[in-house]
Amino acid sequence: MKISREDVLRVADLAYLELSESELETYRKQIDEILEYIGKLNELDTANVEPMAQVLTDDQTADATLREDVVVPCKVASEILKQAPDPEPPYFRVPKVIER
């Protein structure tokens, strides 16, 4: 077994994801099978391989990296707030986090 029930609980907690009892066991089993399959990567010696974090090469990104940091007015602020479940313009409201 690659992944335990406690592992799934710990990870779900890290991801702020509520799982039911049946979800917990189903995912544990399925993820265990997937991790078992992923284990085949250990057949490869990668000691001298540089990890690849993205596909673009340096010369492709040379002119396509960071733009100038210029302040641009946001014209859709009110539309954005309209999408919030509990807006109080110009704020997003969340449940109380600090007890007095």
Question: For residues 25 and 5, is the Cβ–Cβ distance under 8 A?
Answer: yes
Residue 10: CB minimum distance to another protein, A: 8
Residue 73: CB minimum distance to another protein, A: 14
- Gap between the terminal Cα atoms of the chain: 46
SS3 34: helix
Q: Output 71 or 86, the one with its CB closest to another protein.
A: 86
C-alpha triplet 63, 67, 72: angle, nearest 5°: 155
Contacting positions for another protein (CB under 8 A): 3, 7-8, 10-12, 14-20, 23, 27, 30-31, 33-35, 37-38, 40-42, 44, 46, 49-56, 60-61, 63-67, 76, 79-80, 82-86, 92, 94-97
Q: Output 1 or 35, the one with its CB closest to another protein.
A: 35
Q: Which two tokens stand for residue 55?
A: 């596909």
